[in-house]
Amino acid sequence: MSLAAVPGVNIVGAGLAGSLLAILLARRGFKVTVYERRPDPRIATAERGRSINMALAARGIRGLKLAGVLERVMPLAIPMRGRMVHEHDGAAELQMYGVRPEEVIYSISRADLNRRLIEAAAELPGVEFQFGQMCFGFAHEKNLLEFRDEVSGRIHHAAAQPSIATDGGGSTVRRALVEREIATVREEPLDHDYKELTIPARDGKHVMDPNALHIWPRGGFMLIALPNPDGTFTATLFLARVGQNSFEQLQNAGDVDGFFAREFPSARALMPELLREWFEHPQGSLGTVHTRGWHMDGEVLLLGDAAHAIVPFHGQGMNCAFEDCAELMRMMDEHHGWAGLFEAFEHERRPNTDAIARMALENYQEMRQAVLDPEYRRKKKEAEELEKKDPNFIPRYSQVMFHPEIPYSRVMSTPN
């Protein structure tokens, strides 16, 4: 069916990609219905212990700009100009992300960003949000999506018309495509989990440099902290599930306290609520989802984490999902039918999402270990000097974070 002939587009999932996509499609004149399983975040409070803040970089900013929402989002963002590496003895060194003042990344609250995007989408004519609607796959006919109202339990259907599934890493729509043998999936779980904790403010102010992403790299594991506008930091511990130095070993308050005091003494001193939070906050799992077959007959397309969830170590999952949205809009100018558009989207995006999936895994090693290595630091300084002198030389990290015009697949072919 031609793009213009459809009555509207359904989006499943009003997370980061779904809400941005709703704005972009509505601005192109489409009627958009967004189905989201959670309650309306403009009324409900955010879940505790979820990834509270995240790094926003140039690829994500490009998507926000295209949707015309950058100005309403950036007041929420705190620039981070480098990583502050905290060594075991308490020494801390700032390693700059870029060589130019504008080469910074931003810490932003996931919940606040999502809320602003939903607010902006809801203001547009033609966008309708249906919250508390859980999609659980296709109904008996394959072009009908099935939903359950989470309050009343009522089951209802929506014609695919088409539908774009942005229902995240655990996507139900992806599972339905797999069941119909349209998609194949390979899940690559990471053997490290994470837990989010807080470094509170002192007198309403940040207790460390607010314009840095703080890392306590310890070889096999690490703690990181990103600033929030209220003076707090959200800290995240990444640690093996089992074995030596693992979540499995941290069973009681004494274990947790001893581990933090031994491995992260400078951070431990800033975390008075550590023990309460440790037992209240969930232990999250991480992994990469490799999917082939992102679309069905011009009726359904997977986008964002639903198509390609990655580990968070390059801070690119959301950025890549926003880039998906921008790229889909660009391709809409080149395609007249949904089936061709969806096919081209997977064809062009998959090599790029495969590339960032790999680079994200590699970056875990860099963040938790290499940044401590004097040889790594020497090479990084050399690369910075070269970049200042030669504008054609752009290190791989900068290409990912600051150069959205370079596709991820091309970045990966650059020596690291």
Ligand X SMILES: Cc1cc2nc3c(=O)[nH]c(=O)nc-3n(C[C@H](O)[C@H](O)[C@H](O)COP(=O)(O)OP(=O)(O)OC[C@H]3O[C@@H](n4cnc5c(N)ncnc54)[C@H](O)[C@@H]3O)c2cc1C
Q: How many residues does the chain have?
A: 416
Under rule CB under 6 A, residue 163 binds ligand X: no
Nearer to ligand X by C-beta: 86 or 314?
314
Query: How many chain residues are in contact with ligand X, going by CB under 6 A?
Result: 32
Does 14 sit near ligand X (CB under 6 A)? yes
For ligand X, which is the closer residue by CB, 16 or 271?
16
Region binding ligand X by CB under 6 A among candidate stretches 174-182, 309-317, 332-340, 402-410: 309-317
Q: Per CB under 6 A, does 36 bind ligand X? A: yes
Beta strands 300-302; 163-165: pairing state:
parallel
CA distance 167 to 8: 19
Contact 298, 338 (CB under 8 A): yes
- Pairs from 63-69 (Cβ < 8 Å, separation ≥ 24): 63/20, 63/322, 63/323, 63/325, 63/326, 64/20, 64/322, 66/24, 66/325, 66/326, 66/329, 67/20, 67/23, 67/24, 67/27, 67/120, 67/325, 68/23, 68/27, 69/20, 69/23, 69/116, 69/117, 69/120
Nearer to ligand X, 10 or 206 (CB): 10
Phi and psi, residue 402, nearest 5°: -120, -5
User: Nearest distance from residue 385's CB to ligand X, in Å?
Assistant: 28
The yes or no reply on residue 360 touching ligand X (CB under 6 A) is no
* Residue 321 interacting with ligand X (CB under 6 A): yes
Binding of ligand X by 298 (CB under 6 A): no
- What is d(CA 415, CA 161) in angstroms, rounded to the nearest whole number? 44
Q: Nearer to ligand X by C-beta: 1 or 144? A: 144
Token pair of 159, please? 């014609």
Q: Is position 73 an interface residue for ligand X (rule: CB under 6 A)?
A: no
**Which positions from 128 through 157 interact with ligand X, judged by CB under 6 A?**
134-135
Q: Which of residues 176-215 bind ligand X (CB under 6 A)?
A: 194
Contact with ligand X (CB under 6 A): which of 9, 10, 11, 13?
13
98 binds ligand X (CB under 6 A): no
| CA separation for the pair 67, 25 (Å, rounded) | 9
Nearer to ligand X (CB atom), residue 40 or residue 209: 40
Residue 302's nearest CA partner among 325, 333, 332 is 325
Residue number of the CB atom closest to ligand X: 15
Among 315, 395, 404, 407, binds ligand X (CB under 6 A): 315
Phi, psi (degrees; rounded to nearest 5) at 189: -70, 145
Interaction between residue 357 and ligand X (CB under 6 A): no
Question: How many CB atoms are closer than 10 A to CB 279?
Answer: 9
Cβ contact 16:318 at 8 Å: yes
Min dist CB 168 to ligand X, Å, is 3
Which of residues 291, 319, 352, 363 is near ligand X by CB under 6 A?
319
Assess 33 for contact with ligand X (CB under 6 A).
no
Give 13 or 217: the residue with its C-beta nearer to ligand X.
13
Q: How far is the CB of 196 from ligand X (least distance, A)?
A: 7
Using the contact rule CB under 6 A, the part of the chain among 94-102, 318-326, 337-345, 387-395 near ligand X is: 318-326
Minimal distance, residue 225 CB to ligand X, in Å: 12
* Other beta carbons less than 10 A from residue 397's beta carbon: 18
Binding of ligand X by 341 (CB under 6 A) = no
The answer to whether 362 touches 30, Cβ cutoff 8 Å, is no
**Helices marked H in 315-391:** 317-332, 338-368, 374-389
In the complex, least distance from residue 114 CB atom to ligand X, rounded to whole angstroms: 7
- Before 162, cis peptide (omega within 30)? yes
Least spacing, CB of residue 176 vs ligand X, in Å? 10
Nearer to ligand X, 134 or 159 (CB): 134
* HSE value, Cβ hemisphere, 13 Å, CA-based, for 39: 7
> What residue ranges bind ligand X (CB under 6 A)?
12-18, 35-38, 51, 54-55, 134-135, 166-168, 172, 194, 236, 304-306, 312, 315-319, 321
